[in-house]
Amino acid sequence: MKSNGRIIIDPSDKKISVYSGKDGTGGSIIGCDSINMYDDSGNLYTSLTGVDIAGRDFVTLTSRYNKKGLHLKRIASATSDDILYILDGLPTSDPKIEGALWMDADRTLKVSSRGFGS
């Protein structure tokens, strides 16, 4: 059995890089405040970042390209236990995929209950 890839542990940058290709493409970088996932071409497609500052995003799961996705924010005027969940870029019509979130014309959050093609 042959496998490709490499793992780099860098204590000075406080990160672990796990590459699926031996040329340094694909895989993940786990740092002290984020996890970045890359496709086989080396393009970042998902970033999970943590910043624990009241009133700002403290956890995000977003696209690198448009910064849209899931944001969890602490509410600045509330206690530290109050969190605001923000979902960017939801479909504005029912995608007809079981369990998918979407918003109607009145911006009411809905969950699709039909399977695809029904």
Q: Taking the domains of the chain in order of start, what are their residue ranges?
A: 1-47, 51-87, 89-118
- The pLDDT of residue 74 is 72
CB 43 within 8 A of CB 36: no
Comparing 38 with 56, which gets the higher pLDDT? 38
pLDDT of 68-89, one tens digit each? 788 877 776 656 667 778 888 8
> Is the pLDDT confidence value at 106 over 80?
yes
Higher pLDDT, 60 or 117: 60
Cα–Cα–Cα angle for 47, 75, 79, rounded to 5 degrees: 120
pLDDT level of residue 118 (50, 70, 90 thresholds): very low
Reply yes or no on whether the pLDDT at 108 is more than 50: yes
The answer to which of 18-32, 44-58, 85-99, 100-114 has the lowest mean pLDDT is 44-58
Beta strands 15-19 and 27-31: pairing type?
antiparallel
